Amino acid sequence: MEERREEQARERARSMLLSGEARAVLGLRGGRGQVLPYLFSRPEELGDLSLSGIYPLAKVALRLLEKWEGGRLAVVSRGCDERHFVELEKKNALDTRRVALIGVACTEEEARECGCSRPYPNQVDAGHPLADADFFDRRELEELLGMKVSERRRYWTEVLSRCIKCYGCRNSCPLCNCVDCRLEESRWVRVGEIPPEYPSFHLIRAFHLADKCVDCGACERACPMHIPIRRLHRLIGEEMKRLFDYRAGRDAGEKSPLLTDLEEGPFTTEGEDEVARFMEAVAREVGWVGL
C-alpha cells in the first residue's frame, strides 16, 4: 500500500520532469538512514523519493524560489503543505505559476500521529484520501476550554515559562516569513531574556498567525521544550471560524477577515447591507462596542 503510494508519487514526479512541466522536484529523500528535503532534478534520482517523513516543505520551497531563477518547481505536498501554499498565495509571498504540486494523501497512521483534521490535499496524485475522518483529539482543547480564565493563566504561564526563545516555532513555520520579524525587535520582545515575558512573545506570534495557521503542527514538532503551542493555534482557529466563518488554507480566493479595504465602504451599525449586519453581530458578540 505504502509502496504503491510512493510509486504513484515517483511516477507523477518523473512525468513532470520528463515533460518539462517542472524543472525540479522538491521532496524528501530517504534510503540513507535518514529522511531529508532534497531537490530532485534528474529522473534517475527519483528512486530515493520518500514519503515517510513529515516536513514543512513549503518553507524550503520559499527559500529556493527566492534564489532560483529557473523554471517551475514541483513540490511533493500533503494536505497541510497544500494549505500552506494556499496561504502563501493569499499573502503574495510566492508566484504560484512557478509552483506545481504533487498531492499526497496521508495514510491513516500518519494522520493519527499528526492528529490531522483533513489529511489529504484537494488534488490527490498518490494514495487515497481519508475523507470525512477527523483524527484530532479534542479532549485537550475541551480541558482548556473548561477551565476558568485564571486557571488558564496558571496553565499557560507555567507552560510558556519553559520557552527558551529559540525561535524554532517561527523558523519551522512556512507562514512565518516576514522579512523583519516583530519578535526580534527589542521594542516588543525584550532581547536576551528567557523566558519571554508573558504574554508578549506568544500573544504576538499567535495573533500574527490567527488568520494564516493551517494547523500543520510544525511549530509543536520543532519545539525543544515541548510547549503544546499547537492547541493555542487550534483554539484560535476555531474562534476565527466562529466569529468570521473563516478557515485558513481553504481557498486562495478567500480574503482574511482581519483585513479591510476601502471598497468595503463606510457603514454604520444601522445599515441594511450584509456587512453592516455582520459587524453588528461581531459587536454584539463581544458586547462592548459603543455604549
Partner 1 sequence: MRIYERLGEGFREGGPDYLPSLAVFHCRWCFPDAERVRAMLPERAAEKALLVRVDCTARIEAEFVAKAFSEGYDGLLVLGCELGECHHLTGNHRALKRFALLRNMLSLLGIYPERLRLMLVPPFDEELVRASISEYVSELGELGSFRYLG
Which grid coordinates are listed for 30?
A: 530517504
Which residues in 261-280 contact partner 1 (CB under 8 A)? 261-262, 264-269, 279
Residue whose C-alpha is closest to residue 173's, from 218, 133, 203: 218
Contact between 146 and partner 1 by CB under 8 A: the answer reads: no
Segment 214 to 233, residues that bind partner 1, using CB under 8 A? 232
Q: Distances from the Cα of 65 to the Cαs of 78, 114, 138, in angstroms?
A: 19, 28, 37
Cβ count near 140 (within 10 Å): 15
CA distance 163 to 158: 10
For partner 1, give the closer residue by CB, 4 or 284: 284
* Binding flag, residue 291, partner 1 (CB under 8 A): yes
Contact call for residue 181 and partner 1 (CB under 8 A): no
Q: Which is nearer to partner 1, 66 or 180 (CB)?
A: 180
Give the integer Cα–Cα distance in Å for 160 and 197.
Answer: 9
Phi, psi of 232 (to 5 degrees): -65, -45
In whole angstroms, the minimum distance from the beta carbon of 4 to partner 1 comes to 42
Output Rg (C-alpha) for the chain, integer angstroms. Answer: 21
Q: How far is the CB of 38 from partner 1 (least distance, A)?
A: 37
Closest Cα to residue 232, out of 257, 256, 201, 258?
Answer: 201
For partner 1, the closer of residues 100 and 276 by Cβ is 276
> CA-CA distance, 151 to 187, in Å (whole number)?
29
Question: Is residue 260 a contact point for partner 1 (CB under 8 A)?
Answer: yes
Among 41, 96, 207, 241, binds partner 1 (CB under 8 A): 207
* 167 binds partner 1, rule: CB under 8 A: no
Q: Is 96 in the site for partner 1 (CB under 8 A)?
A: no
Helix (H, G, I), strand (E, B) or coil at 232: helix
- The footprint of partner 1 (CB under 8 A) covers 144, 149-157, 182, 187-188, 197-204, 206-208, 210, 232, 235-236, 239-240, 243-244, 257-262, 264-269, 279, 282-283, 285-286, 288-291
